Each structure stands twice: as structure tokens, then as C-alpha cells.
Amino acid sequence: MIRILGIFAALLLAFPAFAQSLPAGLDKANSIVIDSTKGRIVIKLRTDVAPQHAERIKLLAREGYYNNVPFHRVIGGFMAQTGDGEKFNGTGGSKYPNLKQEFSSVPFKRGIVGMARRGDSVDSANSQFFIMFADGPSLNGQYTVIGEVVSGMEVVDSLKKASAGSAGGAVADPDKMVKVQVASDLK
């Protein structure tokens, strides 16, 4: 009974996020909407600088790959990483091949979304991405910028962060992306 009440309460709290309108002038065909356990995040994809990566994000969103995926690595003052719909812990990727980097001159600043990759392999981005809490100039020209948060940065700020000393910023009982959709597909 307590579990049922907990689920009902979570749905009631999440309902306002699902009912929110989108920012005016948003290119819905090139934006994704993340309804998370903390609220709604809207990301404008940068098809002008990373067309292959933007298409991959939209493809995976349409396949439901990102639904119920945790923000598995969240480092306060730096970034929140998600997108591992295979293993849910940051070690997995999609069934599609890795992407060749699409580096640009767009700086990593607060709200920028970048593609995660494996170590020093610049052409290993697949499905995972991260959202910057603050400026990260050391990432400039080293990671592919795929978008920018245009609504819901306060939601990103509220994500559960890793505790001090956690391995690689891993989060215990992390917040999740409940549903991820291309904005033009919202019903």
C-alpha cells in the first residue's frame, strides 16, 4: 500500500512537468524534451554544428531508448551525464555504431549539452550526453557540442549530485529521465 501511495505521489508531482508548454519560437523538429523525476528540461539541438550527433539523439529518443535512464554521473559545479539506455550505469551504448567527432568553436558554458565519449577516443560518442552546470573551457574543442538547454536549467541544477568521494561522480539512487521525446512528437 505504501508503494502504491508513493507511486501515486510521484505521478502527481511529475504531472506539472508533463503539462508545461514549450518555449516560444522553438524549432520543435530539432529539440528534445526530457521529462525527468525533477521536472522538464528542453534542449535545442545544434544541427548546425553537430548534425550526425543531433540525428542520433532524435533517433534514440523516438525509439524510447532514453526512457527511464538515470543521470548516472552528476558532479556539482561541473556536469550531469546520462544516456546509457543499455546498462544504465555509464558503461553502455546503443545498438548503433559510434559517431565520428563533430568538434566546433562553440564553448562549453552553463547549459551546453555535449556528447560523452570513452577516454581519449574522440570518435567514440554513441548515446550518452552531459549537461554543463558551469563553464568548462577545458572541454572546448575536445567534445562535440550537440545542444543547449533552453528551458529547465533549474531542473538540471536540482538533480541529485554524487557524494564526495564517489567513484567518477557516480550517483546512488539517481534521478532519471522518465520520458524523452523530440518536441515535434509531443502529444
Q: Which residue ranges form the domains of the chain, and what is each CATH number?
A: 2-185 (2.40.100.10)
| Chain segment 17-69, per-residue pLDDT in tens | 445 689 999 999 999 999 999 999 999 999 999 999 999 999 999 999 999 99
Chain CA centroid to CA 42, Å: 10
Q: What is the DSSP letter of 113?
A: E
Percent of the chain with pLDDT strictly greater than 90: 83
Q: What pLDDT, on a 0 to 100 scale, did the predictor assign at position 5?
A: 42
**pLDDT-based confidence at 12, cuts 50/70/90?**
very low
b/e map of 1-14 (b: 16 or more CB within 10 Å)? eeeeeeeeeeeeeb
**pLDDT-based confidence at 182, cuts 50/70/90?**
very high
